[in-house]
């Protein structure tokens, strides 16, 4: 089966092809019942409206990853737990051009735009594929540090990219694979706009 990610930061209209939304809704409702929470109580804890939460539970919307993260936090479960019912049926993630899920990460405040291109709800290894775009209003940020390994592949533009004590001049077609625990990130934006794929892998138990 094919999985879909919503681009809209809030919701999109439900369709007949909504197996993912229905599966997520069932998981949310199940966790809520286990904790004896009303829709109003959970909605308040997650910072969403009761109407929104009701639509999520009924599989009538495609909630953003940030919304699901808030709901999962209010339920005190990992966000991946909300995909548990669906992951047994889904073995592929299909994202139409330009429809990756825009999310916030540490570099967002530096003007870096992140589009999540898929998710891995199960298994021992987490894989996070992103399309990252840097424009005129973006700033340098060579201080990222996180668990795992990362591969970046430049699609457009030119960037001086630092990893630990070395700086690499990267242009279209260039790639860099590295340990993500060392400080890394764009040190100088040579030619804008810059677009590159970033694929991060790390152990789920971290």
Which three-class secondary structure string do you get for the chain?
CEECCCCCCCCCECCCCCHHHHHHHHHHHHHHHHCCCCHHHHHHHHCCCHHHHHHHHCCCECCCHHHHHHHHHHHCCCHHHHHHHHHCCCCEECCCCCCCEEECCHHHHHCCEEEECCCCCCCCEEEEEEEEEECCCCCCCCCECCCCEEEEEEEEEEEEEEECCEEEEECCCCEEEEECCCCEEEEEEEEEEEEEEEEEEEECCC
Please tell me the distance from the alpha carbon of residue 161 to that of residue 112, in angstroms, as a whole number: 14
Instruction: Give the residue, 87 or 190, on which the prediction is more confident.
Output: 190
Which of the residue ranges 26-30, 106-110, 161-165, 183-187 would you say has the lowest mean pLDDT? 106-110
* Terminal-residue alpha carbon distance, the chain: 29
* 79, two tokens: 């966000």
Of the pLDDT bands very low, low, confident and very high (cuts 50, 70, 90), residue 121 is low
Share of the chain above pLDDT 70, in %: 83
Please tell me the distance from the alpha carbon of residue 158 to that of residue 156, in angstroms, as a whole number: 7
Mean pLDDT of 2-8: 39
Of the pLDDT bands very low, low, confident and very high (cuts 50, 70, 90), residue 49 is very high
Exposed/middle/buried for 80, CB within 10 Å: 0-12, 13-18, 19+?
middle
Query: What pLDDT does 107 receive?
Result: 65
Q: Which domains does the chain have, with CATH numbers?
A: 2-93 (1.10.260.40), 104-203 (2.60.120.10)
Of the pLDDT bands very low, low, confident and very high (cuts 50, 70, 90), residue 120 is confident
* 107, two tokens: 């570099």
């Amino acid at each position: 089966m094919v999985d879909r990610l919503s681009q809209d930061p809030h919701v999109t209209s439900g369709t007949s092809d909504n197996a993912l939304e229905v599966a997520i809704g069932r998981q949310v409702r199940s966790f809520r019942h286990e904790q004896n929470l009303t829709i109003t109580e959970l909605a308040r804890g997650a910072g969403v409206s009761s109407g929104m939460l009701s639509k999520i539970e009924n599989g009538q919307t495609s909630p953003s990853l940030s919304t699901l993260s808030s709901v999962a936090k209010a339920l005190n479960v990992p966000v991946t737990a909300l995909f548990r019912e669906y992951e047994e049926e889904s073995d592929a993630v299909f994202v139409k051009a330009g429809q990756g899920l825009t999310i916030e990460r540490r570099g967002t405040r530096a003007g870096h735009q992140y589009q999540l291109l898929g998710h891995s709800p199960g298994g021992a290894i987490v894989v996070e594929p992103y399309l990252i775009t840097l424009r005129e209003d973006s700033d340098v940020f060579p201080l990222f540090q996180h668990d795992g390994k990362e591969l970046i592949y430049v699609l457009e533009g030119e960037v001086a990219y630092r990893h630990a004590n070395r700086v690499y001049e990267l242009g279209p077609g260039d790639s860099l694979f590295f340990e993500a625990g060392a400080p890394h990130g764009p040190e100088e934006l040579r030619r804008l706009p810059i677009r590159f794929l970033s694929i991060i892998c790390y152990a789920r138990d971290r």
